[in-house]
C-alpha cells in the first residue's frame, strides 16, 4: 500500500513538478493538488518545501550512489587483481551507466534524472547543496580512481576534463528523450542504449586525449 499513501504521493508529485517546472516555479498548491492530498500535508509530513525537495532527492539518490560505488569498487578490485591500472572507460561506465540507465525504471525515474541533471547548474545555493552534499563522496571516489587510470595527466587537467564529462552527462540527463535545441530539421534522436554508448565513447576519447 505504501505506494498509495500520502507521503509517497507527495514525493511522486514533487518529483514530477520540480523536474518539470523547477523548484522555485513549483508551488505547494500545485504539488498537493496533483497528489490529491491536503495543502497542509506537505508541512505535516516533511516540515517545509525545501525539506520535501531533500526527501525527493534522497529517496532515489542514496540507492543510486550505493550502486555506483559498488561498480567503481568492482572495477578497482578487478584491476588490482591483475596488477594493472583500471581502465578509464570502465570507470566512466561505472559512474555514468547506472545513472542514465535508471531512466528506464519508469516515468518517475525519468523525472528524477532530469531533476538532478539540472541540480548541477541550479542557481539557488540551498537547492544545489541538497544535491551536491549527497554526491560529493561518490564524486571523490570517482575522481581518485580516474587518477589511477590516467596518471600522466596533471590533476588540474584531469579535473577540468572530468567537469566537461559531468557537463555532457548532465545535459543528457536534463533532456528526457527530447533535445534541448528542438529543431524540426534535426535527425531522429538515438535510443537510450545507443545514446549511453555514444556518450561513453565521446567522454572516453575526450578524457584520454593527448595534451
Q: Which residues bind DNA (CB under 7 A)?
A: 5-6, 26-30, 37-45, 47-50
CB-based contact 111:20 (threshold 8 Å):
yes
Q: Quote the least distance from Cβ 29 to DNA, whole Å.
A: 5
Q: With respect to DNA, which residue has the nearer C-beta, 26 or 170?
A: 26
Q: Verify binding: residue 100, a copy of itself, rule CB under 8 A.
A: no
Would you put residue 134 in left (φ > 0), alpha (ψ -120 to 50) or beta? Answer: alpha
- Helical spans, DSSP H, in the chain: 6-21, 28-35, 41-45, 49-82, 88-101, 107-119, 125-149, 155-174, 192-207
Q: Can you tell me which residue has the cell 572507460?
A: 89
Considering beta carbons, is residue 44 or 164 the nearer one to DNA?
44
Burial per residue of 4-13, b for 16 or more beta-carbon CB atoms within 10 angstroms, e otherwise = eebbebbbbb
Nearest to 118 by CA among 132, 97, 134: 132
Q: Minimum distance between the CB of residue 143 and DNA, rounded to whole angstroms?
A: 35
Query: For residues 83 and 154, which CB has a smaller minimum distance to a copy of itself in the complex?
Result: 154
| Nearer of residues 106 and 133 to a copy of itself, judged by Cβ | 133
If contact means CB under 5 to 8 A according to the sort of partner, which of a copy of itself, DNA, none does residue 73 touch?
none
Could you say which of DNA, a copy of itself, none residue 44 binds, taking C-beta under 5 to 8 angstroms by partner kind? DNA
Q: How far is the CB of 39 from a copy of itself (least distance, A)?
A: 21
Identify the CA nearest to 9 among candidates 50, 59, 48, 74. Answer: 59
| 89 lines the binding site for a copy of itself (CB under 8 A) | no
Restricted to residues 5-24, the positions that interact with a copy of itself (CB under 8 A) are 19-22, 24
Cα gap 80→75, rounded to integer Å: 9
Residues making contact with a copy of itself (CB under 8 A): 19-22, 24-25, 117-118, 120-124, 128, 132, 135-136, 139-140, 143, 154-161, 163-172, 174-175, 179-183, 185-190, 195, 198-199, 201-211
Amino acid at each position: 500500500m505504501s505506494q498509495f499513501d500520502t507521503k509517497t504521493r507527495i514525493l511522486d508529485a514533487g518529483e514530477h513538478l520540480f523536474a518539470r517546472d523547477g523548484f522555485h516555479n513549483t508551488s505547494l498548491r500545485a504539488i498537493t493538488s496533483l497528489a490529491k492530498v491536503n495543502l497542509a500535508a506537505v508541512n505535516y509530513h516533511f516540515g517545509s518545501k525545501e525539506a520535501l525537495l531533500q526527501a525527493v532527492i534522497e529517496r532515489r539518490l542514496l540507492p543510486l550512489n550505493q550502486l555506483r560505488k559498488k561498480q567503481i569498487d568492482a572495477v578497482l578490485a578487478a584491476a588490482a587483481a591483475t596488477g594493472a591500472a583500471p581502465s578509464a572507460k570502465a570507470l566512466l561506465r561505472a559512474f555514468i551507466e547506472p545513472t542514465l540507465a535508471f531512466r528506464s525504471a519508469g516515468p518517475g525515474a525519468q523525472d528524477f534524472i532530469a531533476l538532478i541533471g539540472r541540480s548541477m547548474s541550479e542557481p539557488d545555493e540551498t537547492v544545489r547543496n541538497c544535491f551536491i552534499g549527497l554526491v560529493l563522496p561518490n564524486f571523490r571516489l570517482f575522481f581518485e580512481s580516474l587518477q589511477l587510470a590516467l596518471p600522466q595527466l596533471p590533476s588540474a587537467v584531469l579535473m577540468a576534463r572530468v567537469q566537461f564529462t559531468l557537463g555532457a552527462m548532465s545535459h543528457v540527463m536534463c533532456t528526457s528523450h527530447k533535445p534541448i535545441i528542438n529543431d524540426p530539421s534535426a535527425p531522429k534522436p538515438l535510443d537510450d542504449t545507443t545514446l549511453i554508448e555514444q556518450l561513453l565513447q565521446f567522454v572516453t576519447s575526450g578524457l584520454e586525449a593527448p595534451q
